[in-house]
Structure 1
Amino acid sequence: MNRHMRSCEKTPGSTPRISRKVDMMVFREMIAVALVQHNLPYSFVEYERIREAFTYANPSIEFWSRNTAAFDVYKIYEREKIKLKEKLAIIPGRICLTTDLWRALTVESYICLTAHYVDVDGVLKTKILSFCAFPPPHSGVAIAMKLSELLKDWGIEKKVFTLTVDNASANDTMQSILKRKLQKDLVCSGEFFHVRCSAHILNLIVQDGLEVISGALEKIRETVKYVKGSETRENLFQNCMDTIGIQTEANLVLDVSTRWNSTYHMLSRAIQFKDVLRSLAEVDRGYKSFPSAVEWERAELICDLLKPFAEITKLISGSSYPTANVYFMQVWAIKCWLGDHDDSHDRVIREMVEDMTEKYDKYWEDFSDILAMAAVLDPRLKFSALEYCYNILNPLTSKENLTHVRDKMVQLFGAYKRTTCNVAASTSQSSRKDIPFGYDGFYSYFSQRNGTGKSPLDMYLEEPVLDMVSFRDMDVIAYWKNNVSRFKELSSMACDILSIPITTVASESAFSIGSRVLNKYRSCLLPTNVQALLCTRNWFRGFQEVGNIHILNSFIIVNLYGFWTAAFRLIARFFLL
């Protein structure tokens, strides 16, 4: 004990141990990971005060340049890319893709390709495969050639299931060319390959409606501008709130022309403070844009009409996207909502609904099949939910719609079944020599059926629907993973369909991160370094911080926080005496 107390660091007056020798390769890799995860510049390793802190912690530190730091990051990127390639090669199902183009602050164009799949553990994953420079022309042919090159580089050209893109005309050409190139390896010859971004479609629908009612919102928009125009008016507005007795931290918000859902938020807030604004009009002679009773009534109708669009936008714009089964009921609810308002007593509302319904009907056929099949593969919905929805929309065409969806599912299931049978036949050919020549396929097919002769799809559809209340938080993909022994190839088909992203939100999220990596302070980054930073960050952390990007008010605060967090953690871990 006496010997221990003389050498123990925690003993008062004891002599501290000499700093241990630092493994520079490990240290450099840790710094490189910190640069990626905390969005630090490569010049971080050359900061004078940082070098002084490292020297104080351990004099044996050997410093390196920003170019060496960039090399270290790229080496990590290449290593992680190999790991991800190996994971994609062994996943049991297929891969769904999203892609989009982005122009950076430096006017350079980038193309983003993201992969969505269910891994071997039955967990839904989203990974950025590429974020590379893509100079003009941005034609459909050029995009198709670039995507084909990327798919070949990743070795997944034979595992593609769907491609989700927005409604740009170049994307229509691109998907047509790419489908022809991949046709022999696509399910059902690529019939389900092209998926339109429903978020973009919703935006088109609402924008058409907002063009009609732009004049009806003018007074409310002018009201918000007036109140937020000076600190004196805001204080007067707050005094009116106190007089009315409204206690809330919420305030008026002004809409943004490029974000239609901000119009909904502006209306809902203004309606919430209608009495406060009336009081403001009485005490402030300069406030002359207070809406009339008719205009307030119209604003409430518009707000009520936009609410379901705002809800589904919130659902599909999250940092992690839900499985495809949740969308059918949401899109159906919007159709019903439009139908409920098409005979409104307000002429402006009728015109708005008419334009929105026309746009809705234009695109409904493009994505209804895949949404319907995803809903059927939810054991809480199945065809019962579709029958209910189609009956509400149009009882005369309900049966026809149900038959159409069932035929599409049988067709798709047949493709999966043939693939499974072919794999089983090739496996049994080497393991079962007693099967007569030519009967391998039959026995493989027969082994996939149960004793009653029913296919897994028939078995699944005949089982009762699960209670939505009891299984409200059910993980549908986990359900199919746990029942793979019962449903066999249907389980694989379900996981692939449920992993389809019906929006390009993942690519948009990547662009949000890209704007932080390639900003006006780091505009000289090479495209290869941009890709290494962004992809590696995504592979390490995913999209879990995407939702916070738009909330942060200061880019500098984010970087300072990441800077000091990284520095102190590294010092504490490696260099304390």
Structure 2
Amino acid sequence: MTDQSAQQDESRKRARDKEKEEEHPKKLKPYNDEGDSDDDTYPLKRRLILQGIRELYAGHTARFLANQRLTTPIPSRSSVNPCDSKKQSLSELIHGVPGRISLSLDLWTSSNHQDYYVVLTGHFTDDGDWNLHRRILNLVAIPSASLEDVVHQAILPSASLEDVVHQAILTCVSNWNLNGRLFALTVDHSLCSSIENLEQLHTQLLIRHCYARVISGLAQDALGSMSPTITKIRESIKFVKSSEFRYTKFLELKQHLDIRSKKKLFIDEQTKWDTTYHMLVAALKLKNVFGGLSSYDPDFKIDVSPEEWKQVETLLTYMKYFFDAANMVNAHQYPCANAFFTVVAKIQEELMRAATSEDSFLKLLTTPLLQKFEKYWENCYIILAVAVVFDPRLKMAMVQKVFYQIYGENAVTRMEIVRNALSDLWFQYALPEETPTENEGVSTIKTEPPTASQGEQPLDRTSNTDFDMMMLSWFERQRAPKKKTSELDQYLEETLYEVPVKDFDVLVWWMQNKARYPTLSRMASDVLAIPLSTLDSDFVFDTATFKTMDSSLSPSTLEALICDKDWLK
């Protein structure tokens, strides 16, 4: 009886299990091609199949085509190269530019810092929609004999490095048919001596500083001056983020102190100075939490004093200027040259004001920065001011305002320098009949004096009647040379163009007004395309000296890949 009961129980259990399985079927495991299959030979089969596919496309393409009786061959890499057509399109675009082309020159390095390259980028405005273009044109390897000069920038470039730079520029000019069409060449100051004597270029402007490198240098110097304090803040954040338990305690204390900052703590990437800036901004918002953390968590031993937090707050005031300035060239679309003047002038003004402050820490922080930045300002303020004049919302009014704030009584002299630079540049663009004579600031149109008709007596200058005097005056006015206001003078005399900043595109404005200013618009398109920075947008915040490329390819292959990637954007 017991055995029969046990068998019935077992039978009922199997029935219940079957019903449960039907109601709730067993879920299948996600597919995993690494070995979840019940077939023990699956990994081997998979490898064999993949190897067969590789052999099919690598070594048996011809036999595959024959078996399938295909008449159209599979395109090979040599037969179809979309970048060849893209290069041709770029060449045609450059050839069709009515104005001139500017170049920027930079140095890149390989990931192992064994190889260095000269990279040349073209900057220009097209004739169709007046879009600003920035395209890599050439990449040239620097021979090993010149590498020591590159690495030790304190040493003036040797003849070998100078030859490489010269040849790279001349090759670019030759390959892209830019002879006689160069407008500006922008290089970092460390390479200026390598191109001082390059007379073959006939370029209008040589810009000796890279805007992005200057700003990045200021930011790194400012952060470096407070390195011990920043290290303590970084270690404090590491402590809080080291475990979920500690971070929870930190958040509890934040809530208890009713601190409503939404900034989240994170540890910076020390190879990118903008991450250090953002780390400090977030930490400063939570300084009171860090100040009370030692009493809330006995294991926290790092002490950042209130005075140090105050110094960090001062530091971040100027780091904000540097970050905003660098972020301009980190934007998706590279800005026109007119955008830089007000930003650079603002930094110059603020550093000048801070360097004369009675606050000892502020003066100590900003004086070295001002000394470094003044060199950039003095070398570049003319071209920056010329560029902002071509912003119809600002013109010379902005230059005047900034110069009075920076130079005071000497502002008039500085403004005359800018005005003369504008005039000199205008003369090179103006049509022959519009070119001023002698030292006049306006053009003249010479008219021939009227000749007397047959039977007509010449005017008697001895007559004293009012009528005769009136006629004499009229004829003399007609004979006098007539002055014609140039396009430049007409543009500067017109009232400022009023439009919301966010809705304004300076190149579109000049495209729409090129009928009114046919010559000045060509000049504007060239000036507004001047490159003031040589760095790639993705390298603006890096602390390294050169942009690094992870590649061991040959220079020719590397040039093809980099240029192709840039052209296919």
* Same-fold call, TM cutoff 0.5: yes
Across the aligned residues of Structure 1 and Structure 2, the Cα RMSD in angstroms comes to 3.6
Q: Post-superposition shift, 1:294?
A: 1.5
| 1:128 corresponds to | 136
Q: Post-superposition shift, 1:318?
A: 2.0
SS in 2 for 1:276: helix
SS in 2 for 1:397: helix
| 1:23 corresponds to | none
| 1:429 corresponds to | none
Structure 1 CA distance for aligned equivalents of residues 541 and 314 of structure 2: 35
SS in 1 for 2:179: coil
| 1:270 corresponds to | 283
Larger radius of gyration: 2
Give unpaired runs (5+ residues) of structure 2: 1-49, 148-160, 436-481
Counterparts of 1:406-421 in structure 2 under 5 Å? 406-417=419-430
Q: Deviations over 1:80-115 (max 9, x none)?
A: 222221221120111111121212236433332111
Q: Post-superposition shift, 1:394?
A: 2.6
Contact 2:291–2:304 (8 Å) recurs in 1 = no
Correspondence 1:177 to 2:197: yes
- Residues 236 and 85 from structure 1, CA distance in 2 versus in 1: closer, same or farther, beyond 3 angstroms? same
- Residues 279 and 479 from structure 1, CA distance in 2 versus in 1: closer, same or farther, beyond 3 angstroms? same
Counterparts of 1:191-206 in structure 2 under 5 Å? 192-206=205-219
Structure 1 CA distance for aligned equivalents of residues 304 and 52 of structure 2: 59
SS in 2 for 1:155: coil
| 1:161 corresponds to | 183
Contact 1:480–1:494 (8 Å) recurs in 2 = yes
Counterparts of 1:475-554 in structure 2 under 5 Å? 475-506=505-536, 519=550, 523=551, 525-541=553-569
Contact 1:46–1:64 (8 Å) recurs in 2 = no
Structure 2 CA distance for aligned equivalents of residues 234 and 418 of structure 1: 71
Structure 1 CA distance for aligned equivalents of residues 511 and 517 of structure 2: 10
Structure 2 CA distance for aligned equivalents of residues 481 and 46 of structure 1: 55
- Residues 242 and 89 from structure 1, CA distance in 2 versus in 1: closer, same or farther, beyond 3 angstroms? same
Number of aligned pairs? 449
Identity of aligned residues (%): 29
Structure 1 CA distance for aligned equivalents of residues 51 and 504 of structure 2: 45
Structure 1 CA distance for aligned equivalents of residues 362 and 115 of structure 2: 43
| 1:104 corresponds to | 110
Structure 1 CA distance for aligned equivalents of residues 273 and 493 of structure 2: 43
| 1:358 corresponds to | 371
Q: Post-superposition shift, 1:204?
A: 2.6
Structure 1 counterpart of 2:164, from 126, 142, 150: 142
| 2:347 corresponds to | 334
Of structures 1 and 2, the one scoring higher in RCO (CA 8 A, sep 6+) is 1
Structure 2 CA distance for aligned equivalents of residues 290 and 452 of structure 1: 74
Contact 1:113–1:507 (8 Å) recurs in 2 = no
Structure 2 CA distance for aligned equivalents of residues 310 and 339 of structure 1: 18
Contact 2:126–2:132 (8 Å) recurs in 1 = yes
Counterparts of 1:19-38 in structure 2 under 5 Å? none
Q: Post-superposition shift, 1:219?
A: 2.9
- Residues 45 and 153 from structure 1, CA distance in 2 versus in 1: closer, same or farther, beyond 3 angstroms? farther
Correspondence 1:377 to 2:390: yes
Structure 1 or 2: larger helix share? Answer: 1
The amino acid across from 1:527 in the alignment is: P
Counterparts of 1:355-504 in structure 2 under 5 Å? 355-417=368-430, 453-468=484-499, 470=500, 472-504=502-534
The amino acid across from 2:131 in the alignment is: V
Correspondence 1:117 to 2:127: no
Q: Post-superposition shift, 1:506?
A: 3.4
| 2:92 corresponds to | 86
Q: Post-superposition shift, 1:235?
A: 3.5
SS in 1 for 2:219: helix
Q: Post-superposition shift, 1:458?
A: 0.3
Correspondence 1:207 to 2:220: yes
Contact 1:123–1:477 (8 Å) recurs in 2 = yes
SS in 1 for 2:196: helix
Structure 1 CA distance for aligned equivalents of residues 79 and 246 of structure 2: 55
> Once structures 1 and 2 are overlaid, which stretch shifts more, 270-279 or 503-512?
503-512
Structure 2 CA distance for aligned equivalents of residues 490 and 211 of structure 1: 46
Contact 1:112–1:507 (8 Å) recurs in 2 = no
- Residues 388 and 516 from structure 1, CA distance in 2 versus in 1: closer, same or farther, beyond 3 angstroms? closer
Q: Deviations over 1:494-547 (max 9, x none)?
A: 1111111211133866999xx99964xxx5644333333332222221xxxxxx
Contact 2:331–2:537 (8 Å) recurs in 1 = no
Q: Deviations over 1:16-39 (max 9, x none)?
A: xxxxxxxxxxxxxxxxxxxxxxxx
Contact 1:104–1:518 (8 Å) recurs in 2 = yes
Structure 2 CA distance for aligned equivalents of residues 45 and 486 of structure 1: 69
Q: Deviations over 1:347-384 (max 9, x none)?
A: 22211111111111122111111110111110000111
Structure 1 CA distance for aligned equivalents of residues 52 and 357 of structure 2: 65
Q: Post-superposition shift, 1:402?
A: 0.8
- Residues 537 and 259 from structure 1, CA distance in 2 versus in 1: closer, same or farther, beyond 3 angstroms? closer
Counterparts of 1:255-266 in structure 2 under 5 Å? 255-266=268-279
SS in 2 for 1:131: strand
SS in 2 for 1:484: coil
Contact 1:45–1:69 (8 Å) recurs in 2 = no
| 2:314 corresponds to | 301
Contact 2:109–2:548 (8 Å) recurs in 1 = no
The amino acid across from 1:125 in the alignment is: H
> Once structures 1 and 2 are overlaid, which stretch shifts more, 256-265 or 78-87?
256-265
The amino acid across from 1:91 in the alignment is: V
> Once structures 1 and 2 are overlaid, which stretch shifts more, 126-135 or 143-152?
126-135
Contact 1:252–1:270 (8 Å) recurs in 2 = yes
SS in 2 for 1:287: coil
SS in 1 for 2:117: strand
TM-score (norm. length: structure 1): 0.70
The amino acid across from 2:115 in the alignment is: E
- Residues 490 and 44 from structure 1, CA distance in 2 versus in 1: closer, same or farther, beyond 3 angstroms? farther
Structure 2 counterpart of 1:152, from 171, 174, 178: 174
The amino acid across from 2:125 in the alignment is: V
SS in 2 for 1:227: helix
Q: Deviations over 1:184-211 (max 9, x none)?
A: xx33xxxx23342111112233333334
The amino acid across from 1:181 in the alignment is: Q
Contact 1:338–1:357 (8 Å) recurs in 2 = yes
Structure 2 CA distance for aligned equivalents of residues 243 and 302 of structure 1: 29
- Residues 452 and 212 from structure 1, CA distance in 2 versus in 1: closer, same or farther, beyond 3 angstroms? same
Give unpaired runs (5+ residues) of structure 1: 1-42, 423-450, 542-577
Q: Post-superposition shift, 1:291?
A: 1.6
Q: Post-superposition shift, 1:224?
A: 2.4
Structure 1 CA distance for aligned equivalents of residues 251 and 556 of structure 2: 52
Contact 1:252–1:266 (8 Å) recurs in 2 = yes
The amino acid across from 1:534 in the alignment is: I
The amino acid across from 1:79 in the alignment is: S
TM-score (norm. length: structure 2): 0.71
